[in-house]
Structure 1
Amino acid sequence: MKNTFSFIALMFLVCSSMSGQTFEKTKNFQKFNGYFNFYYDDKTDKIFLQVDDLEKDFLYVYALSSGIGSNDIGLDRGQLGNEQVVFFKKAGNKLLLVQPNLTFRALTDNELERKSVEQAFAKSVLHGFKIEEESKGSYLIDFTDFLMRDAHGVANRLKRTKQGSYSLDASKSALAFERTKAFPKNVEFDVTLTFKGNPEGAWIRSVTPDPSLVTVAQHHSLIELPDDKYQKREFDPRSGSYPFSYYDYSTPVQEPILKQFVRRHRLKKKNPSAAVSEAVEPIIYYLDNGTPEPIRSALLEGGKWWNQAFEAAGYKDAFQMRMLPDDADPLDVRYNVVQWVHRSTRGWSYGSSVIDPRTGEIIKGHVSLGSLRIRQDFMIAQALMNKPFAERDDNYEPMLNLALARIRQLSAHEIGHTLGFAHNFAASTNNRASVMDYPHPQFELDGNEISFANAYDTGIGPWDKVTVAYSYSDFPTGTNERNALNAILEKAQKDGLRYISDQDARPTGGAHLLAHLWDNGKSASQELEDMLAIRKQAISNFSIDNIRTNEAYSTLEDVFVPLYFFHRYQTEAVSKIIGGLDYNYAVKGDGQVAVSAIDESVQEEALKSILKTLDAKVIAVPKDKLDLFPPRAIGFSRSRESFAGKTGVSFDALSAAETAADMTLGLLLHPERASRLIQQKSLDKGQLGLKEVLEETIKATIDMTQRDSYEAEVQNTINFRVLFHLMNLAAHKDVHPQVNALANESLKNLKTQLLGNGKNGIAAEMVQRIDNFMKEPGEFKVIPVPKIPDGSPIGMDCMD
């Protein structure tokens, strides 16, 4: 990334009215000199582009320079669009802007072979421009319509998210010159676009002053492509990097046609033979200068952690963090940027990149950090502290320190994505080996208090050093790169480092022993036990002194939410062990175990642990805490981060337990897990099977007797959820028929058992529901529960 342009070079953008004039049409236009010269006619509000080189590739990137502010809609300030290699081609009286198809190539000196592949696959003509004037081999085109279009797909996104049907209103749109600039190697255009339409969704209504008129700004960049000195590095599935891929049809038959390389910034040592050397040009990231303190200092500190990994790879000061100059544009391709993004609700932070589509070279890293994220960590700490505001209302420092600790880790995490690195969700089981995991805060019991001392990591992890070494090591001349890269990965394996990424870590589709989101500890089951103990103590401590003087009790209820659901992510982790697998991204010859079943005792321990989250004694809101949650005060309506229920204005303790139980059951009795358990049992009769899981679940819930009347009703609420999830497995169409058979058998046995217990009201209702289900199983649908509040530390939908 070339970020060291001097500000003298910025003076190149200075516009002049007449200098270097080549076109008669533009003699009264304002001229901007840059990578492409362009002209502005203020009488017609048009921009004309000067094209000097035909069929010369350059990079086109579009983005949102101002967004909508809704995480759910997903149109954020600074959001990058797709980068595209394009070129201008003359066709009669037009210039066509052509995007070649770089997915399919022939990297050969045989021109006819290259053309055969080029002609075999479609390309895209992005726009056609009438030639306004030609002079000395240069062409003048009206670029305005190309700029004033919905390149980012705002209208489509609004429609897709069911917010309404919108179309661009040209009468309320205009060029925006405060962010339209010209530089020697890139030109930047900014436009204000207004979309008119019929607002249909609540999200768009919540973030716009007039939801029938939605105004955003879109940005267009024309960029000189990097030179051909960048060296691609082979991708390895064990490396922790993202693959950059294309198909090379000139490949010999005995070799794979799919080519894969790591995505990385260009980084070279000044002295490749030296053990430690400065970089020819360091990687510099700039922090949004609109970021407030103390967040600013935390983000700078966390981002700088990466220099530890580059130092371990033999570089001195190769990764740097600075503040973005006040006059710099965050979307300017010359700056890697960490941007502070505001939304109306909490949402994901994410790291994006502009890459060279020809090679995978990262040209610009761009991180978007949601500004409300820090407030959730603050609230988690506030809920877990014992009477933090009993004596004074300014005792917020412990909560703020925890939130800032997470922000440091978040800065490092998202920058890691823009350096080319994928998630490593196995790292949390290995003493926090990577900032590329999702860290749940690690708390410990200290008597009756909850200790925050070890909540988050404080630096780069050993796995992060491996990924940097693989992607960025600059080997001395004569080194066999493949052997050197293998040595890096073999050492990591010998050191016990594990790497498992996204597709294997998701709570429902995933099945890996170690790779979980927001988990902690080597043993997921033991960690759940520990978290339930912390939750119990924190709930026991919870009081009116968890909020400040003069704050509404309704605020106290919202603080209680993350505490009540404190166990939710470790529950996800434990559920994946049941019917799960242990495996690696192994390659032939590396000595790793490709895949193995999880030991029966480990699965049984996981089942025992997770079933505790279906016990009313564990999951019920204690009776002595219910008086803390009166009906909501005026001005403090429930939100998506509040408890939901069925009792109107009053706090619904039964629905809280119902929602928590449904979360567990949706994971434990997930159809894919049920099918895996069938297969697992068939391969090893001593293993845990679906029949045992169903029996143990019923034993721990419907067979459970709670003597306290309140806890009995909580248990009844949980038990009905068990019944519905059994019915779901019995009727589900996307499972092995054996799953249907075992679930139906469980329902029949349960009916017999309930009838044997006597027809009390609850038992009779369950029997009736089983009978109704048996009559028309195809009509069954799981009755929804009150929605679980948003709770992931950074949002609900994965973009990170």
Structure 2
Amino acid sequence: MKKIVPALVLFLITLLPFVGFAEKFTGFFNFSYSEKENKVTLEVDKLDAEFLYVTSLASGVGSNDLGLDRGKLTGTKVVKFVKAGNKLLLVQSNYDYRASSKNDDEIKAVDDAFAISVLWGFKIEKEESSKFYVDATEFFLQDAANVSATLQRNKEGNYKIEKSRSAIYRDGLKSFPKNSEFEALITFTGEPSGKFVRTVTPSSDVISIYIHHSFIELPDDNYKPRAFDPRAGYFSTTYQDYATPFDQPIVKRFIERHRLEKKNPNARISEPVEPIIYYVDRGTPEPIKSALIEGASWWNEAFEEAGFKNAFIVKEMPQGADMQDVRYNTIQWVHRSTRGWSYGSTISDPRTGEILKGHVSLGSLRIRQDFMIAQGLTSPFGKDTKEIEKAKEMALARIRQLSAHEVGHTIGLAHAYSSSSENRASVMDYPQPLVKIKNGKIDLSEAYDDKIGDWDKIAINYGYREFLDDKKEKEGLDKIIQDYIKNGTTFLSDRTSGGGIQPYTSQWDNGENPYKELERMMVIRRIALSNFGENTIPEGAPYATLEDVLVPVYYYHRYQIAAAAKIIGGLDYRYALKGDGQMITEMISPEDQERALQILLQTISPNELKIPEKLIRMIPPKPMGYGRSSAENIKSNTGLTFDPLAAAGKLTNMVFSELLNPQRAQRLIEYHARNNTQPGFSKLLDELVSATWETYLTNGIDGELQKVANNALLTNLMQLALNPNATPEVKALAWQKIQDLKTLASQKNNSVSLSETKAHYAYAVHQIELFNTNPEKFKEIKTEMPPQGAPIGME
């Protein structure tokens, strides 16, 4: 009898799933899962108690262009369950508008003034001992990641959830003391209308991905927010506080950072109460995994200087742990069909800015792009196999730096784009590989830094150093800022990198002086192009693949061109605060602007645009089984053959689009009006015409390349004259220069005899006449730009 009872119990346990048994999960939220019904029943015992609700993608679509990547965080909200009759409502609190007051009526006045959001309504199925049981299945089967809207916005088609093919994912259900995790396989069906979904799905009318939901306990009240300072290099949490006295700023700003406390607050250096630990994706291959761990670990040095010992640790993810679990700061290795972005995201407390989870996503094809850049620069596939190892090491060096960079975002740091002009002062810049020339050969040994920089230590010191009281904190933080200002360090971030304004905050640039570095890089480019050939590709590779590697070499200086262009009509400035002694604004000297322009014009001269004849002969059309890519290949005007004139045209378009930016043009007009020693927009236009249409057209390839530059200038001028973002003053000068070109082209046409040359000028006159008659038609003309350079590691 004793043997029969256990056997019967075992039999009943194995039978329970088939008779409706619900598996129970206990933790932050208790819930049960019925496999038979594919149903999640949630137990709610915390009415009106706020918690964090986070959604993310546990699997991705695999297209960089769509941005629906594995691990992408898609929303962080402070929510609570509120009882309303026979329902529980999941209500999102509105922390953008608050009253930090002890007066309940004052708090209520603000709460009532701004909307809340009810995210879901659950019917109460059972109530028992102040616990409410609701069917949460439909809630977890919704499009919580806005996948349908993302596909529609990208013109990929109208997709909707197909419930019959969607289900709760049992292995994604977990509950721990401070967080509960839920996951569902969601299937979308629709008619594809774009190219991206078609390239990454086995059946493009069906997209099935896993969407993750996290319920997370809010942190305790022991975290102390730290004041935001625009000079300190941190992201901020902001809100409007209506309890603020009216003579004080209503907007409150605090930096985003992890909680880090000393075991011994009185010690100069102390171990932390709890270290910050990051975990690297187990799916990352070697030697990349070790490079990610090494690069991310650089931050420990900065924390040591801020007074913490062994405060920042990086290790491999534990076996079986979930990358979406809020308990783990993660560095994940994300695969896509094409190279794409890397980024550092966080789950943080919207009330205080405290970071609860750092979540880094690194595109796995990024390292291949760096290897291709090294391959093109050094042509390493000759007899000396050490050259290949050097190219590999450069790619791994970039991965270390990229790991440190993206982790930097997840510990609170913003981009530090002025660092490349200050001897690589921060890993939070976007670094162009620092290539040098040694003994007439290209040297990659210092392409990327092998440590964090001086700015990184300053920033961590500001964000994480502990102080004994509020007074010492304010004094200490002010001293950190003032010390770096006195030492000549600058911090400038994203906002200054766009629009061509700040010459020293460009992405992917190098050097203290943008145009001098451009001049140096052009020398490197010439060496690389002169050596480019059979040894650029491995044995057995089709010769046609030379074009793939040629693109990053031919356009090697593209980002430095953008940096040098920002000198012209640029403005040097700082995030200056009243009383801090920093320079506020300063126009760029006319001499620097003129020198920058001359070097930029040199980049579009026939000598610089020309590709060696021996190389052109080596690039046949792509063979069977090898396709062309918009990211790696130059759009050709000659059918299947490689088109060197098209390559030149795209480079000249890039230069002219930078120089004829409508905002730059307006600044040139304004600055010249305020100070007549500053070059005006008219002067810029005169010099562009002098370097192109006014030059003598020679025969052969040099003459054809000059025609390419001439046509590019005319097209870009027409686009500027029609640009809705250009001011009337800018449009007027552009229009007048177009008319001047008509006169010049007519004169040239009458003075030359070669038919090809006459045709060039005659067609320009014809184009301008059409433009004058019906300019609207020219709005449809799009200038051809170089193949994608970015993303090569951007956020």
Q: TM-score range by the shorter chain?
A: over 0.9
1:593 equivalent in alignment to 2:583: yes
SS of 1:586 mapped into structure 2: coil
Residue 776 of structure 1 deviates from its aligned partner by 2.8
SS in 1 for 2:779: coil
1:100 maps to 2:98: no
Task: Indicate the SS of the match to 1:545.
Answer: helix
CA distance in structure 2 between the aligned counterparts of 1:730 and 1:566, rounded to whole angstroms: 30
Shift of residue 755 of structure 1?
2.2
Partner of 2:553: 563
Aligned 1:428-467 pairs, distance under 5 A: 428-467=420-459
Q: Indicate how the Cα distance of structure 1 residues 486 and 322 shifts in structure 2: closer, same or farther if over 3 A, else same.
A: same
How far does residue 432 in structure 1 lie from its aligned partner after superposition?
0.2
2:661 maps to a residue whose letter is H
Instruction: Describe the shift of the 1:572–1:349 C-alpha distance in structure 2 as closer, same or farther (beyond 3 A).
Output: same
Matched, 1:487 2:479: yes
Q: In the alignment, is residue 240 of structure 1 matched against residue 233 of structure 2?
A: yes
Instruction: Give the corresponding residue for 1:549.
Output: 539
Q: Distance in 2 between matches of 1:793 and 1:103?
A: 33
Contact 1:658–1:785 (8 Å) recurs in 2 = no
Deviation at residue 27 of structure 1 after TM alignment:
9.3
Q: CA deviation at 1:72?
A: 0.3
Residue of structure 2 in register with 1:685 after alignment:
676
Match of residue 419 from structure 2: 427
* Cα distance in 1, alignment partners of residues 192 and 730 from structure 2: 44
The answer (yes or no) to whether the contact 1:614–1:701 under 8 Å persists in 2 is no
Q: Distance in 1 between matches of 2:287 and 2:21?
A: 50
Q: Is the 8 A contact 1:393 1:548 kept in 2?
A: no
Q: 1:189 aligns with which of 182, 186, 211?
A: 182
Q: 2:20·2:34 contact (CA, 8 Å) conserved in 1? A: no
**Could you tell me which residue of structure 2 aligns to residue 4 of structure 1?**
none
Deviations for 1:128-181, whole angstroms, at most 9, x for unmatched residues? 111100111111000101101110011111111111110001111111111211
Q: What are the within-5 Å matches in structure 2 for residues 621-770 of structure 1?
A: 621-640=611-630, 641-759=632-750, 760-770=758-768
CA shift, 1:692, in A, is 1.0
Query: Contact between 1:295 and 1:404, CA under 8 Å: does it hold in 2?
Result: yes
Per-residue deviation at 1:785?
Answer: 3.9
1:265 aligns with 2:263: no
3-state SS of 1:278 partner: coil
Preserved contact between residue 503 and residue 510 of structure 1 (Cα < 8 Å): no
Quote the residue 1:13 is aligned against: none
What is the CA–CA distance in structure 1 between the aligned matches of 2:725 and 2:365, rounded to whole Å? 39
In 2, the alpha carbon distance for the partners of 1:53 and 1:739 equals 62
How far the C-alpha of 1:51 sits from its partner, in A, is 0.6
Q: After the TM superposition, which of the residue ranges 596-605 and 756-765 deviates more from structure 2?
A: 756-765
1: distance between equivalents of 2:779 and 2:610? 26
Are the equivalent residues in 2 in contact too, given 1:393–1:549 (CA < 8 A)? no
CA distance in 2, matches of 1:398, 1:261: 44
> Per-residue CA shift, 1:609-646, capped at 9, x if unaligned?
11112211111212222101111111111102211111
Cα offset, 1:505, TM superposition: 0.4
The 3-state SS of whatever aligns with 1:277 is coil
Pairing 1:174–2:172 present:
no
Q: Which runs of 4+ in 1 moved over 6 A?
A: none
Residue 494 (structure 1) shift = 1.2
Q: Contact 1:286 / 1:322 at 8 angstroms: preserved in 2?
A: yes
Partner deviation per Cα, 1:330-350 (whole Å, 9 max, x = no partner): 010000000000000010100
Match of 1:60 among 53, 73, 78: 53
For residue 788 of structure 1, what is the aligned residue in structure 2? 786
Q: Does 1:603 align with 2:593?
A: yes
Residue number among 143, 148, 152 corresponding to 2:145 in the alignment: 152
After superposition, where does 1:91-130 map in structure 2 within 5 Å? 91-130=84-123
Give yes or no for the alignment of 1:579 onto 2:572.
Answer: no
Secondary structure at 2:213 match in 1: strand
Deviation larger for 703-712 or 353-362: 703-712
Which range moved further: 136-145 or 758-767? Answer: 758-767
> Structure 2 counterpart of 1:680, which letter?
Y
Distance of 1:130 and 1:685 partners within structure 2:
73
Mark the runs of 5 or more structure 2 residues left unpaired by the alignment: 1-11, 14-18, 751-757
How far apart, CA to CA, are the structure 1 residues paired with 2:470 and 2:187?
58
Paired AA for residue 791 in structure 1? G
d(CA) in 1 for partners of 2:433, 2:514: 15
Mapped pair 1:524 → 2:514: yes
Gaps of at least 5 residues in structure 1 are 1-16, 19-25
Counterpart of 1:312 (choices 305, 311, 316) is 305
C-alpha offsets along residues 503-551 of structure 1, whole Å, 9 cap, x if unaligned? 2102xx1300210000000010011011111101110011111111111
Which residue number in structure 2 is paired with residue 73 of structure 1? 66
> What's the TM-score once normalised by structure 1's chain length?
0.94
**CA displacement at 1:708 relative to structure 2:** 4.7
How far the C-alpha of 1:768 sits from its partner, in A, is 1.5
Amino acid paired to 2:723? H
Deviations, residues 702-737 of structure 1 (Å, cap 9, x unaligned): 222353511111110111010111222333333222
Identity of aligned residues (%): 48
Give the CA deviation at 1:277: 1.1
Match of 1:328 among 309, 321, 324: 321
Distance 1:676 1:621 in 2: 36
What SS does the aligned partner of 1:719 have? Answer: helix
Bigger CA drift: 764-773 or 519-528?
764-773
Out of 518, 530, 536, the residue aligned to residue 540 of structure 1 is 530
Q: What TM-score, normalized by structure 2, do the two folds share? A: 0.95
Secondary structure in 1 matching 2:572: strand
CA RMSD of aligned residues (A): 1.6
Q: 1:213 aligns with which of 199, 206, 209?
A: 206
Q: Distance in 1 between matches of 2:224 and 2:80?
A: 24
| SS of alignment partner, residue 426 of structure 1 | helix
Aligned partners of 2:725 and 2:21: how far apart in 1? 69
Equivalent pair of 1:728/1:782 in contact (CA under 8 Å) = no
Q: Distance in 1 between matches of 2:559 and 2:644?
A: 21
How far has the Cα of 1:383 moved from its partner?
A: 0.5
**Following the alignment from structure 1 to structure 2, what is the Cα–Cα distance between the partners of residues 570 and 395?**
26
